[in-house]
Structure 1
Amino acid sequence: METESQAAHAAHVVDRLWRAYAPYQRGRNTSDDVASMLAILVLAGFVESAGESGDTFVTLWRRAVEEARIGLSPLKDLRTALKSAGRHPRFPVRNARYFDAGVLGLDEGPEDAPWMAAFLTALWRPPTVTEAGLPEVCELLLERHAQEGTSSAGEFYTPRAVARLITALASPRPGDRMLDPACGSGSLLAAAAQRTRRAGRVDGDSYEAYATDRGNPRLAMMNLAIHGVEGPVVHAADPVSLFRSRGGSPADRVVSNPPFNQRIEEVDIVRWPFGVPPRSNANFAWLQLAWARLSTDGIAVLIMPPRAAWSEGSEAAIRANMIRNGTLLSIISLPAHLFAHTAIPVHVWVLARDKSHHLPADARRSVLFIDASRLGTRAPRQRNTLTAADVERISGRLHAWRRSPRSTPDEPGFSRSVSHEEILRNEASLDPRLYVDAESAGPRTAPEMSRLLDELIRHDQTASGSSADLWQSLDKCAQLVRDAVGLPRLPLRRIVEGPVGGDADDQTPGEFLAGPSGSLIRAEEYVDSGGIPVVMPKDLTGDDFSTESIRYITEEKAHGLGRYRLRPGDVVLARRGELGRCAVVREEQVGWVCGTGCFVLRPPAWLNAHYLVAYLRGREARTWLEAHSTGSMTMKTISLKVLGELPVALPDLGTQQAIARAMKQLDERERLLREQLALTREIRGGAVHGLFSG
């Protein structure tokens, strides 16, 4: 376990390394940089632990360090040193040929890896990586890259505190066979290795890892090697192919943070144990794969989006089958803002292959729900962090309940053991908020229940009127487009730059604009508050803008970016991540700045901005954008040129306005229904107490 001084050394080293690297991010493809950083750390650690003065890789390493110190590129010697070290029988990465492909810019010239000399020079200064602890430096470097790097992916980095919680819940034992089917950077398996390693090493044959992003296997292998896993091997795969080839050795523990809501194909060719998952997202493919790979007494711990707990249709049916089969041990809700670049809260699902190995007979038809959504500490404008006490409280509660459910009573506001029958009565919903009463709520009184019921009736009346209005609007739209069924799709750029005819008096063309490059807004130029908001893809929610985690620059800096300042009626679109996210600029957003990850479209008079947003959010446009995107499966990207080729149906302006109004009514209808559902659940949670209190 690291000491306070070692932790301080590691933080100092990583800060020094990152400051050396950061100035070289702009204007480059940085997707492989972090893998190259870890390769250098692996090589440095191996030179110090196993190298001898006569070894070729030691000579090359020392020469590379000297080259870096005098400002020359160390890239050539680093490449050769890595290949030479990879042939050593004790080198920590087994398949050196697979390991070195694509790292250290092996397919590029020194001009494409300009940061390496500065990085290596910073690495050489005291305190050294050895003094700081190589695993701790690795974890902090990955965390820094996740927070401040210019690229990220859905399957990439799990924060250290969350990784330690997952490991504590899974409780791996020395010698257990471990599996992560979507390992990202390998953080969860690395945490497990730290918990179970003996004599500083862990047998790599007992670790099975796959990555859905084909750029991550090298990164994960190096991370695992740094954390003491001997000869780790990581392959690229997807849930369907993994399920079809699951004939390998059963896993004693499965830990994973798979990509959320990932689209999958060919789900029908697999015999899923609890039901066929939808093609639209792989959440229940990952859950079923994890369960199917478990040994008889195995446990799986997976991070899932909250929607997996309450989604309807085929997913609800799968949940019900999992409950009836006794698959679920626990569902845990975690606080929001734990992950970099997103505010989304997550749930942790704990599965058992056979509950009889983990619970006494009288508790096997129950599930432990833990609501930890109010835990964690968060500094202003920083990510939330689970403390060691938080991790202990959550994992300790699960383990105490598993040992003796009868002597582990429910804890109001935090945990509750719920029978399978009650869960199935709630349509197999696994939302912890539904079962764990708020700590301060207390019993509902009769007058309060009456007030809530009156409010529900008002919602019903409003929703009823909303339904009638919506029906009329959609019927009107159907009449307007009846003659436009065969309306041709025009490229968006042609529509914007027009004119394309129609009834608009103003023939001034619109405008396409990509957000400013990273060199125009540097990382150090963001301020904590009181400045001008900069819109990034994460700030586009639904058809609106979110300021929950938005970043700011000074008014002086924004003044020099006048071309990118938002105007009324502009459409801001995400250029990476979940494609199709967009919003229309209202008065509240006027003067904000379009960020690097977005486009701005200034519609001409013949294109209604709200119609365009409705069209872009639709299935047809999203499917086209995904099919024409580049990047990884978990981080789609489109260019301004590709966006301009998007085929868009362009009816007359009156029809556009009618469709935009109908879509707005649909959004309002959805909001009303969500409020009704939340109110109904609140009433149901306190109904019995409310009746008796009368």
Structure 2
Amino acid sequence: MPEPHDAPVTLAGIARIAGVGRAAVSNWRRRHDSFPTPVGGTDASPQFSLADVEGWLHAQGKIERIGLRERLWPHYEALGDRAVMGTALAEAGGRILSAESAEAFETAHRARSGESLLPPEAARVVDETMKAARQEGGRETFDFLLSRWLDAYVRQVSATPEPLARLMADIAGSVRAGAGVGTGGVTVLDPACGVGGLLLAAGERLATPERSASPVASVLLGADIDPVLAALAAVRLGFAGMGTRVGIKAGDSLRGDPQAHARADVVLCNPPFNARDWGHEELATDPRWAYGLPPRTEPELAWVEHALARLTAGGVAIVLLPPAVASRRAGRRIRGALLRTGALRGVVALPTGAAQPHSVSLQLWILRAPDAYGKTAAGDRLFLLDAVERQGAAKGAQSIDWPRLSSRVLEAVRSHSWDGERKSEAQAPLPERCVTVPVMDLLDEETDLTPARHVPETARETHDVLGESWGRLDGLISEVHRRAQFLAAIDLSEGGDSASTVTVADLDRAHALRARQGQTPSGELLRGDDLSFIDAHPRGAVPVLSVPDLILDGRPGGWLTSDEVEAGVASGSLTVAEPGDVVVVGVERAFRVWVQTDTPLVLGPQLHTLRPDLELLNPWFLAGCLRAPANARQAGSHTSSSARIDVRRLQVLQLSLAEQEPYAAAFRELLALEESLRSVAAVGEDLVKGLGDALAAGRLHRPGR
């Protein structure tokens, strides 16, 4: 392997080193003839010598030096395979720990289940990591590399954000305190521990160190189906040095639980979502299903029952779940059983963006196991808290005010009695948007436990939301009026019967535009994430749009990294609409045309991109002609409800570039008017519903009262 300063580095790596965006690096490459020459990679994703890059950046005054840790990361990237990279990092961490703590190293070593079988290149990377650790600190080096690894594989490895992990641990501690549980040693289990984020938070918030005066030290137990993640979690906990006993094992907690004999006082879990192949058939008679066999389509409920089965008498579990688990019809029977037995004690709805998937409001389920006599201190009410922001809903984890959110949630949790005895409202009033609902009221045909369904808006919230909506409506109506005046002034008196047209196919043959059809992207997409890319996705994420996405809600349903997109474009396996391109939907029921204006967009099947020659065609003129309803009718197949439109048969007025300009301006205003009218309809519908609910609730202010 070359020396660390000779490692290959990509354009994205150069951007990280220099602390700038990737576009800036591309700009440097175009503007400066002295920019280093690629030493490998492809045209779409070139690689450069790190030594050459460092020399150039230093000569340009953009950096002073590259740290040893930054030099190391390209070597890990060069290993290519996620598992090999992760195993090498775990091996390096274990070796660093062995020099600092023999006991911690043994924990990490056991998690790796045997001797290292790293390939020679990876073994040499481990040696280089040890050298860097001696100079820049072992834990600091490991944490830096682990963070880079998680960023590189954010689609495959889902980590619980630190603020959320701390909140889950604090809720567990508050519920235990509210139930009168002692503060001695506690055993915490995470059956899907990933890289150990929840166990780290539990160690900080709940654990009693072995060196304390407590007669019983705390134990942190974890398991993960991915042995690489289990090894990394063990090393990470070893570096934390909390003085607790740690046991991390690799294995499938549902199919073959490696912690089957363990019983925990607290279970914290962020299980995998939508994992349909979770073992439904082979586990049909498993004794853990005390509340019913989870349906094949409800793997999250399998994790809920697994958590309850691993609790000690009276133990507490906090499980992070997608919102659909609270309402899907398939899980109604099990939800009812959890309520009737008192196992499910509370549901907390979190703001959008608290964790992956970032586009939905995830929920925390608070569960308690029966006591030593087989009874639960259930009471007869379910605790529900809706912590979702009603205004300016958060679009990503970084936009959430975590201190405020945590304080609000913990205040609500602490105001509730968890020992089965309801506190009087006079003694402990529940905070806003928090209620306790009689269990019998929830046991209906739906057993819908979604907090928003049962938590009424406060009068202040209703007033604020309606006030914001009235303001938006006023602005939209003014905008509609302005655009309508512009369009109404257009003179349409000239006859257009003799106007000549040309088809998209003709324009393509004449090289006036380039037409390309969308393709099915290869690789796994992170489904369910919307366009909140700044906070929710790694730098350079490119949205992917399909026809089903348009029919569902009109937004992209997935994304790819910029490197994947560049490679796909180079190989011809991806179709990307760049800003300035015209996008056409080739399905009749979803037909629409627009000019892509902001970011690149990967197009799926039956979507088309038209890239006009700007010296011959104005994009807004082209889009306006193509989207005419009569144009779509004549190009449609009219065979079924899924009829397609032959985009190449769509017609465009045959005008010079100068003659296109007024048409382009009119088309642009027409599109904007259409969007404004849609917005008026949506805001107006919300206003009618909200105002109707408020009036029906008796909130009309009556002077003199």
Q: Specify the alignment match of 2:164 in structure 1.
A: 162
Displacement of 1:261: 1.8
Displacement of 1:324: 1.3
Tell me the distance in 1 between the aligned counterparts of 2:428 and 2:388.
Answer: 21
Cα gap change, 1:354 to 1:409, in 2 (>3 Å): farther
Tell me the distance in 2 between the aligned counterparts of 1:527 and 1:295.
Answer: 42
Tell me the distance in 2 between the aligned counterparts of 1:655 and 1:331.
Answer: 49
Displacement of 1:326: 1.2
Letter in 1 for 2:160: T
Gaps of 5+ in 1: 1-14, 51-89, 449-507, 517-525, 573-582, 606-652, 662-673
Does structure 2 retain, via aligned residues, the 8 Å contact 1:184–1:211? yes
1:424-474 CA-to-partner distances (Å, cap 9, x unmatched) read: 358321111122233455689xx99xxxxxxxxxxxxxxxxxxxxxxxxxx
Cα gap change, 1:437 to 1:119, in 2 (>3 Å): farther
Q: Specify the alignment match of 2:47 in structure 1.
A: none
Find 1:565's aligned residue among 563, 576, 589: 576
Find 1:178's aligned residue among 188, 193, 197: 188
Taking structure 1 as the reference length, the TM-score comes to 0.56
1:127-526 correspondence runs (5 A): 128-129=137-138, 134=139, 142-146=146-150, 148-153=151-156, 156-171=158-173, 173-195=183-205, 196-199=207-210, 206-228=219-241, 229-230=244-245, 232-242=247-257, 248-263=261-276, 264=278, 265-266=280-281, 267-270=283-286, 272-311=289-328, 313-339=329-355, 342-354=358-370, 364-374=379-389, 383-385=398-400, 387-402=402-417, 405-406=423-424, 407-413=427-433, 415-425=434-444, 427-439=446-458
Q: Specify the alignment match of 2:112 in structure 1.
A: 99
Greater relative contact order (Cα 8 A, min sep 6): structure 1 or 2? 1
Does structure 1 retain, via aligned residues, the 8 Å contact 2:637–2:643? no
2:74 is equivalent to residue 23 of structure 1? yes
Does structure 1 retain, via aligned residues, the 8 Å contact 2:185–2:218? no
RMSD: 5.4
Displacement of 1:315: 0.4
Cα gap change, 1:333 to 1:512, in 2 (>3 Å): closer
Displacement of 1:417: 1.9
Q: Specify the alignment match of 1:630 in structure 2.
A: none
Does structure 1 retain, via aligned residues, the 8 Å contact 2:585–2:593? no
SS of the equivalent of 1:402 reads coil
1:562-596 CA-to-partner distances (Å, cap 9, x unmatched) read: 97532767899xxxxxxxxxx9995354895467x
Does structure 1 retain, via aligned residues, the 8 Å contact 2:542–2:562? no
Cα gap change, 1:138 to 1:678, in 2 (>3 Å): farther
Letter in 2 for 1:109: P
Cα gap change, 1:291 to 1:514, in 2 (>3 Å): closer
Letter in 2 for 1:302: V
Q: Specify the alignment match of 1:689 in structure 2.
A: 697
Does structure 2 retain, via aligned residues, the 8 Å contact 1:209–1:233? yes
Does structure 2 retain, via aligned residues, the 8 Å contact 1:185–1:219? yes
Tell me the distance in 2 between the aligned counterparts of 1:586 and 1:552.
Answer: 26
Deviates more, 1:681-690 or 1:255-264: 681-690
Displacement of 1:166: 1.1
Cα gap change, 1:249 to 1:381, in 2 (>3 Å): closer
1:406-436 CA-to-partner distances (Å, cap 9, x unmatched) read: 22212223x2222212323583211111222
Does structure 2 retain, via aligned residues, the 8 Å contact 1:416–1:436? yes
Letter in 1 for 2:168: I
Tell me the distance in 2 between the aligned counterparts of 1:680 and 1:183.
Answer: 46
Cα gap change, 1:291 to 1:19, in 2 (>3 Å): same
1:515-554 CA-to-partner distances (Å, cap 9, x unmatched) read: 89xxxxxxxxx999xxx98534699983466479979989
Tell me the distance in 1 between the aligned counterparts of 2:371 and 2:455.
Answer: 22
SS of the equivalent of 1:93 reads helix
Letter in 2 for 1:354: P
Q: Specify the alignment match of 1:658 in structure 2.
A: 641
Displacement of 1:340: 5.8
Displacement of 1:240: 4.7
Tell me the distance in 1 between the aligned counterparts of 2:228 and 2:698.
Answer: 56
Cα gap change, 1:411 to 1:353, in 2 (>3 Å): same
SS of the equivalent of 1:280 reads coil
Displacement of 1:365: 1.0
1:168-206 CA-to-partner distances (Å, cap 9, x unmatched) read: 111275422222221111221222123314156999994
1:210-262 CA-to-partner distances (Å, cap 9, x unmatched) read: 213344222222223233454523131142544xx997343211110000121
SS of the equivalent of 1:198 reads coil
SS of the equivalent of 2:437 reads strand
Does structure 2 retain, via aligned residues, the 8 Å contact 1:332–1:372? yes
Tell me the distance in 2 between the aligned counterparts of 1:119 and 1:101.
Answer: 21
Tell me the distance in 1 between the aligned counterparts of 2:686 and 2:336.
Answer: 22
Displacement of 1:317: 1.8
Does structure 1 retain, via aligned residues, the 8 Å contact 2:267–2:316? yes
* Total equivalences in the alignment: 479
Does structure 2 retain, via aligned residues, the 8 Å contact 1:297–1:353? yes
Cα gap change, 1:512 to 1:394, in 2 (>3 Å): closer
Cα gap change, 1:336 to 1:36, in 2 (>3 Å): farther
SS of the equivalent of 1:269 reads coil
Letter in 1 for 2:432: P
Tell me the distance in 2 between the aligned counterparts of 1:587 and 1:102.
Answer: 57
Taking structure 2 as the reference length, the TM-score comes to 0.55
Tell me the distance in 2 between the aligned counterparts of 1:685 and 1:238.
Answer: 46
Letter in 2 for 1:170: A
Does structure 2 retain, via aligned residues, the 8 Å contact 1:336–1:346? yes
Displacement of 1:291: 1.5
Does structure 1 retain, via aligned residues, the 8 Å contact 2:94–2:108? no
1:31-68 CA-to-partner distances (Å, cap 9, x unmatched) read: 44245334423432431356xxxxxxxxxxxxxxxxxx
Deviates more, 1:313-322 or 1:169-178: 169-178
Find 1:542's aligned residue among 544, 549, 558: 549
